[in-house]
Amino acid sequence: MATKKKASKKAKKSSKKTYIAMVIDRSGSMSSIHKQTVDGINEQFGALRRDGDKGGDTEVTLIQFDDKIDTVFDGLTPGELVDWNMADFQPRGWTAMYDGIWSAINTLKAKEETDDTGFLVCVISDGEENRSTEITQQLLSDEIKRLQDTGKWTFTYMLANVDIHKVSVALNVPISNIATYTSNAVGSSAAYTVSAGSSVGYLNSRGAGATSTSTFFSDEDKKKLAETK
């Protein structure tokens, strides 16, 4: 009995687990790209349904933020993801982006962690932080750096109307994990396509044994987004 118990514990320790948190801006300005956002989230869901098993035991969390933070769902397997309709996404309010990211971090930190675990936080927004109350930029930046230094956490940002170099410095995120898009119908559609493809690339790297990446968006991805301006 003792031998069997020890073997079971070892298998659990080496089990591949991947936790993905989508952190989606639903502030009022997102109303101009309402349909593109819903279509884009569904594109992301489709990519995860197809390739999520490459991350081993993969779970998905989705958090929406305006000046309030809502966890839409937590811990779904890719196969449990159901496409949204227009009523599932209702833009409103301000942009408490830092609070949304902080909520995602705390949610994922509570998950079971093994030697082969990867945590991916994907933030999508059309603007800048302007309403957070739970966490400051400095404290969030420090926590992101600490988590990235473990070699298991990846933070990515798809942002519009911002200087991504400033974001990289302010939040301790590699510039290759940040992309910018034009906040219109064409630009937003391209942004979600790039995000979905980059998530698949991340899952492929998880399948090959990597637990994090500092090159989530390729130069080719960024070129595609620039062509929509």
Provide the mean pLDDT of the chain: 93
Q: Is it true that domain 18-226 has CATH number 3.40.50.410?
A: yes
Nearest of 39, 181, 178, 83 to residue 121 by alpha carbon:
178
Q: How do residues 91-119 score in pLDDT, each as one tens digit?
A: 999 999 999 999 999 999 999 999 999 99
Q: What is the pLDDT of residue 14?
A: 60
Buried b (16+ CB within 10 A) or exposed e, 191-213: bbbbbbbbbbbbbebbeeeebbb
> pLDDT tier at 8 (50, 70, 90 boundaries)?
very low
- Are 208 and 53 contacting, i.e. CB atoms less than 8 angstroms apart? no
Question: pLDDT exceeding 90 applies to what percent of the chain?
Answer: 92
pLDDT higher than threshold 90 for residue 67? yes
Nearest of 170, 160, 111 to residue 138 by alpha carbon:
170
Q: How do residues 202-223 score in pLDDT, each as one tens digit?
A: 999 999 999 999 999 999 999 9
> pLDDT tier at 229 (50, 70, 90 boundaries)?
confident
Alpha helices in 81-181 (DSSP H): 97-109, 137-148, 164-171
**Model pTM?**
0.94
Q: What is the pLDDT of residue 154?
A: 98
pLDDT higher than threshold 80 for residue 90? yes
- 144-170 average pLDDT score: 96
- The CA-CA-CA angle for residues 36, 40, 42, to 5°, reads 125
CA-to-CA separations, 216 to 13, 73, 204, 220, in angstroms, rounded: 27, 24, 12, 11
Q: What is the pLDDT of residue 161?
A: 86
